Amino acid sequence: MPGIVSLLLVYEPSGGRPLTVARVEDSRMLVDAALVAILAAEQRAAELATADSLLGELERAEAGRLRTVLGLLIPGLKARAVAPGVQ
């Protein structure tokens, strides 16, 4: 039986324990959140590459791994996904 992929909305008070406020399983929201996470990882890699090409390349590989893993976990992501580095 496959697991469930969900998006958690968490409140993190300063100095306190995180509190899960809501759990979302809407497939459109999951795809949107995954695309935002992938884009953020790719942007982080590009920023690192300007300072250190090796670190940038390592981060680019991690962004690719994130894209692959999320593509396996979230139905519909591959249909909406853009090519790496394209917004």
Instruction: State pLDDT tens for residues 1-42.
Output: 578 999 999 999 999 999 999 999 999 999 999 999 999 999
Distance from C-alpha of 80 to C-alpha of 73, rounded to nearest angstrom:
14
State percent of the chain over pLDDT 70: 89
In the structure, what pLDDT confidence band is assigned to residue 83 with cuts at 50, 70 and 90? Answer: low
Q: What is the pLDDT of residue 81?
A: 57
Residue 76, amino acid:
G
pLDDT higher than 50, residue 87: no
C-alpha distance from residue 21 to each of 10, 26, 46, 49, 69 (Å): 5, 16, 33, 36, 25
* pTM for this prediction: 0.82
Distance from C-alpha of 12 to C-alpha of 61, rounded to nearest angstrom:
30
